[in-house]
Amino acid sequence: MEDTKQPIPNEEPANTEKPKPKPVGKEKKPEPQYLLSSSPHMATIDRVPKIMWTVIAALMPAVVYGMYNFGFNVLLTVLASVIAAVATEIVINKMRGRESSVADGSAVLTGLLLTMTLPPAFPKAYAAVGAVFAIAIGKQIFGGLGYNIFNPALLGRAFLQASFSVKITTWTAPVGIDAITTATPLGSFKFEKIMTPYFDMFMGKIGGCIGETSALLIIIGGVYLLVKKYADWRIPASYLGTVFILGGLLWIINPEQYPDPVFHLFSGGLMLGAFFMATDMVTSPVTPKGTWIYGFGMGAVLIIIRLFGGLPEGVMYSILFMNAFVPLINRYTRPKIFGELKK
């Protein structure tokens, strides 16, 4: 069913260019053969691999900063996860008898995104297990790229959280001082009511996952994607906007109990999630109106988890939760056809 390569009965080979069979007439001299195809005969240069590799490039500042912040060790975690993801992709392609889809970059991206959400000292073998799960169960089981419902990297992370809940909440302090455990700004606030300075949060001199600490570098990469139109600006706008407004309202109601909205924006994995996870094309709505609903839903779920739930952080679950609604959102937000009359 999802096999686009299978010829569909009655469909003309619409876009495959092939030389025409000889004209019916009684032509004598052989004529040059011109290509026949159905219009359009022009296309943009954007292709799926280009999009994927651009997203990977946009993540690089945050990854490099993660290495600088948490030490060389991080590079090995990244490699373990990416290699496991690519290997899983290759094996499953083979099993399904498909052409290799490694070159499109999506497996590399999934592996990379997964490590971004892991604590610096997370065991490499476990990271690899998470990557295998992300590709196999998060993506390929649905039919491969384009067919998955949930963001594969986040599904891998959810699996790791369920399986290794202690390891995944053990944070090390920055500047490579190994094995000194620390707390993330969200954790310190939630459990100890200690505020972390905003400037540190913005620049990334804080504890946290490998790729989420520096809001600045994530925003740089994210804005690049928005400018290239490889990410829909409505998603970070509605997600971050909802968090800011809802968080702000609660802060106004009770500033003792709840942190201010700026803290919400720059803490935890929100920036990473808003720019790189929620904007995943496959698992976000296709309609403009739908993306606003999606972003609002994620923001609301995030605030509920952060302020009223048992966990300090809720970016992952907020995105996964709304991923599940995407097909429904798409269905009920069909744009009005040009000239369609109000009903």
Partner 1 sequence: MKLKTFKKGVHPEEYKFLSEHKTLERLPIPEEVFIPVHQHIGAPCRPLVEKGQTVKTGEIIGQSTGFVSSPIHATISGTVKTIDNFPHPLGINGLMIHITGDGKDEWIKSFDETSNWENLLTDEIVDLVQKAGIVGLGGAAFPTHVKLSPSKEKKIDTFVLNGCECEPYLTADHRMMVEQSEEVALGTRILMKALNVSRGVIGVENNKPDAIAAMEKATSAFNNIEVIPLKVKYPQGAEKMLIKAVINRNVPTGGLPLDVGVVVNNVGTAIAVAEAVTKNKPLIERVVSITGDGIKEPKNVIARIGTPFQNLIDFCGGLTDNTVKIIMGGPMMGITQHTLNVPVIKATSGILCLTDLSVIKHKEYPCIQCGTCIGACPMNLLPTRLARFAQVENWQMAEDLGILNCVECGSCAFVCPSQIPLVQRIRIGKLRINEMKRKAKLATV
Instruction: Summarize as ranges the residues that interact with partner 1 (CB under 8 A).
Output: 1-2, 4, 8, 10-12, 14-17, 20, 23-25, 31, 33-44, 46-51, 104, 144-147, 229, 232, 281-288, 334-341
Closer CB to partner 1, 98 or 167, in the complex: 98
- Contacts of residues 306-314 at CB distance under 8 Å and 24 or more positions apart, as own/partner, are 306/186, 306/190, 306/264, 306/268, 307/247, 307/250, 307/258, 312/184, 312/186, 312/187, 312/189, 312/190, 312/191, 312/268, 313/184, 313/186, 313/268, 313/269
Closer CB to partner 1, 69 or 284, in the complex: 284
Are the C-beta atoms of residues 129 and 160 closer than 8 Å to each other?
yes
Cα–Cα distance between 276 and 231 in angstroms, integer?
Answer: 8
Closer CB to partner 1, 40 or 310, in the complex: 40
Closer CB to partner 1, 167 or 228, in the complex: 228
Q: Enumerate the H helices of the chain as residue ranges.
A: 48-70, 73-95, 106-116, 124-136, 152-163, 185-187, 198-203, 215-228, 234-253, 261-266, 270-272, 288-308, 315-323, 326-332
Are the C-beta atoms of residues 146 and 4 closer than 8 Å to each other?
no
Closer CB to partner 1, 37 or 181, in the complex: 37
Task: State the minimum distance, in angstroms, from the CB of residue 341 to partner 1.
Answer: 6
Q: Say whether 231 sits in a helix, a strand or coil.
A: coil
Are the C-beta atoms of residues 192 and 183 closer than 8 Å to each other?
yes
Cα–Cα distance between 186 and 313 in angstroms, integer?
Answer: 7
Task: State the minimum distance, in angstroms, from the CB of residue 35 to partner 1.
Answer: 5
Closer CB to partner 1, 107 or 303, in the complex: 107
